[in-house]
Copies of this chain bind each other. A is one copy, B any other.
Amino acid sequence: MKPSVRLVAERAKVSHATVSRVLNNVDVRIAPETRLRVERIASEMGYQPNRNARALATGRTQSVALWATNLRSVYYGEYIHFIHEETLRHDYDLMVSGAKVPQYGVVGKDVTLDTSKLMSWPVDGIIAVDLPRATVPGMKGSLLGGIPFINVGGYVLESADYVQVDFTEPAIEAVQHLATVGCRRIAYLVPDWFEWFIPSDDPRLSGYKSVMAALGQEPEFIVSPNERREGVASVLAAYIEQHGCPDGIFCYNDEMAIGAFLELRKLGRRIPEDVALVGCDGIRESEYLHPPLTTIMPPLEEMCSVAWSFLMKRIQDPTLPLQAARLKARLEVRGSSQR
């Protein structure tokens, strides 16, 4: 049986209230000898407070929830890593929660985030990553069902605290870069739900469009059934067969760029000579390709650390005015687009 405060108290011949006081270092006016005795006995018995009980009593849990669209993707894995680092540093625990299909529905359309699961644990704060066109019911200011809430990523809800990464400039730069290295036909490779985007939703899209307009070229979209590598592989060959092959492809994300990369090579196209490729997200795998993938890198670590500090401030004072930060992503030119 796990020892409780009462058990410790009994052996230490004090009341359980005193044990609690000692162990929480509250109330300095405690006889040093009592304190020592309690501490010794508690550690002898291997006492660990029951955090549910503590949470119930205090209303604080020392835990936060992380919500991500897709736990499979290495991109969101990086978020988990960095947020987890923060929790370690600040002695919090981390609940991880991802999208169930009906939980998030079709991405891209206006979707409603099913928050019942997300909020079911009374965590102290919630961090959500990338909420494209999402409606989050129960949001009031920066509180979701009363719980401090922050969202972070390329897509944010501006009604709550957020840390956004701005892809606009590097997206423009990326498409210009493709033009500069001599691409005459630059396509944008996107997941099929991009149709539901209004241009301002996706800075990559608006960046792409604006540069194409400036170049006097028609935008060209290659549409993949999803935002993953496999989706791209399933459609690219047919697309090229039907429409011919662009000589530059700007990709919605790195996973898709990698899909395109592998598929193009299978089709005998050389990268970057025949097709120059640019991805987005800066996942580490982009470096593994040969030539390595040119990509747009969000400062994930910094984003997570800013998000964390915002969240802590919000927890301290829920009435704080909106906290927002916008960080810059940067274009990292590598071999896949250099010629």
Binding site for B on A (CB under 8 A): 1-2, 46, 48, 50-53, 55-56, 61, 63, 71-72, 74, 77, 80-81, 84, 88, 93-98, 100, 116, 119-122, 138, 145-146, 258, 261-262, 265, 285, 287-290
Q: Which of B55, B81, B289 meets A72, CB within 8 Å?
A: B81
User: Which B residue sits closest to A285, measured CB to CB?
Assistant: B285
Determine the main DSSP class of A at the interface with B. Answer: mixed
Q: Which of B1, B145, B288 meets A258, CB within 8 Å?
A: B288
Contact B96 A80 (CB under 8 A): yes
Contact A71 B81 (CB under 8 A): yes
In the bound complex, how far is the Cα of B81 from the Cα of A315, in angstroms? 29
- Least distance between A228 CB and chain B CB atoms (Å): 11
In the bound complex, how far is the Cα of B92 from the Cα of A120, in angstroms? 11
Contact B84 A93 (CB under 8 A): no
In the bound complex, how far is the Cα of B61 from the Cα of A224, in angstroms? 41
Interface core residue of A52, A63, A94 (most chain B CB under 10 Å): A52
Contact A116 B48 (CB under 8 A): yes
Neighbouring B residues of A122 by C-beta, 8 Å: 50-52
In the bound complex, how far is the Cα of B93 from the Cα of A226, in angstroms? 27
Neighbouring B residues of A121 by C-beta, 8 Å: 51, 63, 93
In the bound complex, how far is the Cα of B215 from the Cα of A30, in angstroms? 72
- Least distance between A336 CB and chain B CB atoms (Å): 12
Neighbouring B residues of A48 by C-beta, 8 Å: 116, 119-120, 145
Q: Which of B52, B80, B81, B289 meets A290, CB within 8 Å?
A: B289
In the bound complex, how far is the Cα of B63 from the Cα of A268, in angstroms? 49
Contact B84 A98 (CB under 8 A): yes
Contact A80 B71 (CB under 8 A): yes
In the bound complex, how far is the Cα of B138 from the Cα of A149, in angstroms? 36
In the bound complex, how far is the Cα of B81 from the Cα of A72, in angstroms? 5
Contact A2 B52 (CB under 8 A): no
Contact A265 B290 (CB under 8 A): yes
What are 5 A-B interface contacts by the 8 Å CB criterion? A52-B56, A72-B81, A80-B80, A288-B288, A289-B289
Sample of 13 further A-B pairs with CB below 8 A, known A50-B56, A52-B55, A289-B289: A1-B146, A46-B138, A48-B116, A48-B120, A51-B121, A52-B56, A52-B122, A71-B84, A74-B285, A80-B80, A94-B96, A94-B97, A285-B288
